Structure 1
Amino acid sequence: MAFDGWDFSCPDWADRLRDGRSLVPHLPLDTAAADQAVAIFDRLRLPDVVGQPAMAEAAGDWFRDIIRAAFGSIDPESGQRRVAEIFALVPKKNSKTTNAAAMGLVAMLANRRPNAEMLVVGPTQDVADLCFGQIQGMIEADPDEYLSKRFHVQEHLKRITCRITRAVLRVKTFDMRVMTGTKPVLVILDELHVMASSAFASRVVGQIRGGLLANPESLLVFITTQSDRPPTGVFETELKYARGVRDGVIREDVRMLPVLYEFPEAVQIDERKPWRDPKLWPMVLPNLGRSISIERLVSEYRGAIDRGIEEEARWASQHLNVQIGLALHTDRWVGADYWVAAGKGPASLDELLETSDVCTVGIDGGGLDDLLGAAVIGRHRETRVWRSWAHAWAHPIALTRRPENEDTLRGFERAGHLTICETPTQDVVEVAALVGRIWSAGLLPEKAGVGLDPNGVAAIVDAIAEEDVPDEVIAGVSQGWRLCAAIWGLERKLHDGTFLHDGSPMMAWCVGNARVEPRGNAVLITKQISGKAKIDPLMAVLDAAMLMAANPEAHAPGGRSYLEASGLMVL
């Protein structure tokens, strides 16, 4: 439901970051309740710092703004919380876990519901133990001993009980049983990006949301750093939603408050990497001058640079929230360094076909637990720049046999870059239909227009024949080191800007999965991780590139356009 006057967007967020202003937009909060929650928060003490200073001194205003929004948004008449979810993206060493612990205690002290249940969930046992230790330490650090009298701490159970309301705060590790037997009024998830690597992550988050529905004042809080891998699964889903709310793109039925400390996209994807300049770092460090300093970060960053590009990327993701576009491991394909910047190609397959004078198609796939990838490279009829579009198909067994990939592949499916097959032959039939469409449009060469691995492709060849595509159009493309010409050629074209692609996150994932192995004077591309990593769509691009490198001509040059051939244009 929508609430009058409750607009969670923050369209000027980049200016606010530059100016050091709050990322929480103006909201019609209950100021008395908000002020009371902040007063409780400020009185809590840091248990693991010399002198045990109060949060009033040690905490940043950025988290007070979150506290205000969380506890000042309950309608006094209906009891419903307007800010039902909070997504806070903040770099490491900005007191995320400590603030999560403090927020749990504030919720316990502000709670009026008898026997209420609250959860703070850590991604690992170590993080959960650290969070519980902070909560326990804050209780013990209270100089008036009020908190020790109010709360019963059971360390062995990681449970804290309020002696007045009998409300219980539990600290748990993220797993399938986290929601067993509970309907909480508060759940705080610490480091969602780590949790997202679990095969069951999206289902657990769904269970959490379902459990929270029972209480109108329920609150779900994500406090996380950026992922140290390309975002996938539930983390990618929640981050995209939070960005959409922040930017005002999503406005209907919004109850999530996004607080995202990240550089504007232009700063993150610029090839010159302007985020390397420490002068920009204060934009994304809300706790600067308290738990972290620029001098310390600069020293750590220099060490990361010395250990190579992979460590630099990982460091930037964790300490500056720079989103990793590709997994730049040390044995990566050189083309990966230029892949993200080349994502300025066709917005759709229709656009690619309509603007190309010739196309080649690459097809690659393995067993049923692999992907079947198809890629189309079109040569632009005016600039002669190569431009590509790719799609993949997966059978359900690929999700069940590799459950760690399920959330990732489901995300690609939602984005329209991958199809989960409903029948055994759906992938083969649809790939053949794709080839048939391009042949009918007159854009394939008479010979060697469709390239595929000659091993185990009988079903695909037969299906393409049924689309009335001549046998001569299909060509076997030798794999392994024999693809070296395409590998090196595409590297150069990515570097000089004469190869562009559709910017698909699926392809970025596949490129990040690829590793290069030297073979004498040649190289070959293989999977970075056997079984788990998938590179089939990338291999399809290389197959199509091998054929396009022969400088082919379409079999019907100057003929009907794609839109005419497909019946989409009426003259």
Structure 2
Amino acid sequence: MAAFPNVNAAQKYARDVVGGKILACSFVKAACARHLNDLKASKAKAYPYKFDRDAAERVCSFIQLMPHTKGKWARGKQRIKLEPWQLFIFSMIYGWKIKADNTRRFREAYIEVPRKNGKSIIAAGAGIYGLCADNEYGAEVYCGATSEKQAWEVFRPALTMAKKLPNLRKKFNVVTWAKKLERPDGSKFEPLIGDPGDGASPSLGIIDEYHEHRDSSLYDTIISGMGSRDQPLVLVITTAGSDIAGPCYVMRDRCVNMLEGTEQEDDLFAIIYTIDKDDDWTSEEAILKANPNAGVSVSLSYLKARQASGIKHARKTNNIKTKHFNIWVSAKESFFNMEAWRKCEDRTLRIQDFAGIDCYYGFDLARKLDLTGMVRVFVKRINEQNHYYCIGPTFWVPEDTVNSDEDRRTSERYQGWVNAEFLEATDGAEIDYREVLAHATEANEEAPAQESGIDPHGAANLSHQLDDAGMNPVTIAQSYTHMSDPMKELEAAILTGRFHHDGHPIMTWCVGNVVGKYLPGNDDVVRPIKQGNQNKIDGAVALIMAIGRAMNAAQSGGSILDSLSDDDILVM
């Protein structure tokens, strides 16, 4: 046992997390439980994987020979000492092997941890190991990022480590250049901005702060270039972010599904340090749960000060939640709780199961050059409360907008959704409302509308046609008067589990982009706005209108806004 001190510490960490001795969120518990369960399963001859304690110990020992490059530890010329959670991560990624050929099991690894928790040590250490000690001839190690500055956040510590270790350079024949580490066999370690280029054959790709990436092109190119490698690895190390339609959150979603057992991905390792849905983020326990290096690389007093600042200053709250508690938000002042929204997802929902249930429609037509949405909401009365079911929303965008070069981020996002059949691209440069009408009429035959809330922007002709189709359109001005009550009802339904949706990604994106604009002097009155032109909220507005029509049908008594007029409080 004494021969494997690092592995033993990693194993103890896993047992202590699962046993409740170490504060940890459900995702960390799941990652630890997965390892312990796999250890038991690996004893069976038919199980395809094994845990190689020697390989795990080797990588942990190697990285702890590296020197610190910053702060008091660097001044004291100290070497890195991995904490138990870091030992666990390295042991998992490098220790699990395929029995058949003894190559590594995990080809993708996702580590999500708040700022100041020693990410650079994990990334730089993995990079040096990949260059020198991974038994990969002609290794190609890249640290990729969206900017040169960010890429150097990983490469600079690795370069400094190599410069401080003459014995390492001598043993592995490492040559240090200004922007590259090289070995005589052609092995190299260098920062990367954009694609590696034709001919590259990455053995290790390190992607830092993936939440800042607009698309998955860098990740995809690294993966596609790894075909000739026996045991390649893509290592993503990131904090949480604000773009839940971006590639990082998509990968995180995969990881969550794997950790929760809804999907099996045997070659994916993931660990996510955050707090749980019902945790009070203002508590000290939340700090410790989300920050595994609290009291080591980041002081508890610093984290408490940041927490206090978030409590005191509402405009700072979401940024602090994201950076120090790894809570994803889609806008810096997002109105809806997106973690609660995720809990409301039910992909088994089907329109045909709601035959005879009251259905309300919402149409947000926006501009003819951009996104248009139609939402259907079914309403069931359960235990004297409304439950809302949003199933099969439909979105349209002009084909010219999808292919536009003016906003590549938006057009690439739209292209992805069109390819996945979540978004309809209409011919030409403008939305053809005839297509919207045709689809709405067909949908109404399947689920008849009690009422349809419709955005007045350019809606006169379509409204008449919907009326002719028996869909009972009601024009809804985007004002405090009409939007506040249903917006708050949607928020309450999401938080209490009375809202249910089918996981449509565009709807999720739109809801996450909603920012609340409050009536001056009255925090009880709010309406939805967006933050920046890229953050569309059309689906959310249509949803709020549909819920508003459902509330209106069931409401007895007046709204708190009945005494106000649109002229008084409409602020667009």
User: Where does residue 192 of structure 2 map in the other structure?
Assistant: 172
d(CA) in 2 for partners of 1:189, 1:102: 14
Does residue 119 of structure 2 align to residue 96 of structure 1? yes
User: Where does residue 322 of structure 2 map in the other structure?
Assistant: 317
Q: Return the letter of the residue paired with 1:94.
A: N
Q: Return the letter of the residue paired with 2:268.
A: M
- SS of equivalent to 1:421: strand
d(CA) in 2 for partners of 1:409, 1:509: 12
User: Where does residue 560 of structure 1 map in the other structure?
Assistant: none
- Give 1:294 deviation, angstroms: 1.9
User: Where does residue 277 of structure 1 map in the other structure?
Assistant: 283
- SS of equivalent to 1:232: coil
Of the three residues 58, 67, 73, the one matched with 1:36 is: 58
User: Where does residue 81 of structure 1 map in the other structure?
Assistant: 104
Q: Return the letter of the residue paired with 2:553.
A: N
- Give 1:297 deviation, angstroms: 0.7
Q: After superposition, give the CA deviation of every residue in 1:24-44 in whole Å (9 maximum; x if it has no partner).
A: 714623333333222211111
Q: 1:434 to 1:128 in 2, by over 3 A?
A: same
d(CA) in 2 for partners of 1:31, 1:14: 20
Q: 1:343 to 1:355 in 2, by over 3 A?
A: farther
Q: Return the letter of the residue paired with 1:126.
A: K
- SS of equivalent to 1:276: coil
Larger relative CO (CA 8 A, sep 6+): 1 or 2? 1
User: Where does residue 184 of structure 1 map in the other structure?
Assistant: 202
Check whether the contact 2:487–2:527 (CA below 8 A) recurs between aligned residues: no
Aligned residues: 506
d(CA) in 2 for partners of 1:548, 1:74: 55
d(CA) in 1 for partners of 2:270, 2:446: 48
TM-score by length of 2: 0.76
User: Where does residue 262 of structure 2 map in the other structure?
Assistant: 249
Structure 1 stretches of 4+ with a deviation exceeding 6 A read 10-14, 410-416, 424-427, 519-523
Q: Percent identity among equivalent residues?
A: 18
User: Where does residue 567 of structure 2 map in the other structure?
Assistant: none
- Give 1:75 deviation, angstroms: 6.0
Q: Return the letter of the residue paired with 1:187.
A: G
Q: After superposition, give the CA deviation of every residue in 1:313-337 in whole Å (9 maximum; x if it has no partner).
A: 221222122233x5352xx66xx46
Q: After superposition, give the CA deviation of every residue in 1:507-543 in whole Å (9 maximum; x if it has no partner).
A: 443244344375999976443213x121222232344
Check whether the contact 2:486–2:545 (CA below 8 A) recurs between aligned residues: no
Unaligned runs of 5+ in 1: 1-9, 554-571
Q: After superposition, give the CA deviation of every residue in 1:72-128 in whole Å (9 maximum; x if it has no partner).
A: 456698474322121111111111122211111112221444433211123332222
TM-score by length of 1: 0.76
Q: Return the letter of the residue paired with 2:216.
A: S
d(CA) in 2 for partners of 1:29, 1:535: 47
Q: After superposition, give the CA deviation of every residue in 1:358-402 in whole Å (9 maximum; x if it has no partner).
A: 333221223454222112344435646262526131334443334
Of the three residues 478, 482, 485, the one matched with 1:486 is: 482
d(CA) in 2 for partners of 1:423, 1:204: 31
- Give 1:169 deviation, angstroms: 0.8
Check whether the contact 1:79–1:216 (CA below 8 A) recurs between aligned residues: no
Check whether the contact 2:145–2:209 (CA below 8 A) recurs between aligned residues: yes
Q: Return the letter of the residue paired with 1:217.
A: Q
Give me the CA root mean square deviation. Answer: 3.9
Check whether the contact 1:365–1:373 (CA below 8 A) recurs between aligned residues: yes
- Give 1:427 deviation, angstroms: 7.7
- Give 1:152 deviation, angstroms: 1.1
User: Where does residue 388 of structure 2 map in the other structure?
Assistant: 387
- Give 1:11 deviation, angstroms: 11
1:496-511 to structure 2, matched below 5 A, reads 497=493, 500-502=499-501, 504=503, 506-511=506-511
- Give 1:179 deviation, angstroms: 3.8
1:427-442 to structure 2, matched below 5 A, reads 428-429=434-435, 432-438=438-444
- SS of equivalent to 2:116: coil
Q: After superposition, give the CA deviation of every residue in 1:117-149 in whole Å (9 maximum; x if it has no partner).
A: 211123332222232221121122227574598
Check whether the contact 2:144–2:206 (CA below 8 A) recurs between aligned residues: yes
Of the three residues 254, 263, 270, the one matched with 1:258 is: 270
- Give 1:18 deviation, angstroms: 5.3
1:366-445 to structure 2, matched below 5 A, reads 366-380=366-380, 383=384, 385=386, 387-389=388-390, 391-395=393-397, 396-401=399-404, 402-405=407-410, 418-421=422-425, 428-429=434-435, 432-438=438-444, 443-445=448-450
Unaligned runs of 5+ in 2: 1-12, 24-28, 40-48, 556-572
User: Where does residue 361 of structure 1 map in the other structure?
Assistant: 361
- SS of equivalent to 2:269: strand
Does residue 543 of structure 2 align to residue 541 of structure 1? yes
Q: After superposition, give the CA deviation of every residue in 1:272-300 in whole Å (9 maximum; x if it has no partner).
A: x5232112432332323321232221012
d(CA) in 2 for partners of 1:73, 1:500: 41
Q: 1:83 to 1:232 in 2, by over 3 A?
A: same
Q: Return the letter of the residue paired with 1:528.
A: Q
d(CA) in 2 for partners of 1:338, 1:28: 38
User: Where does residue 232 of structure 2 map in the other structure?
Assistant: 218
d(CA) in 2 for partners of 1:463, 1:132: 61
User: Where does residue 569 of structure 1 map in the other structure?
Assistant: none
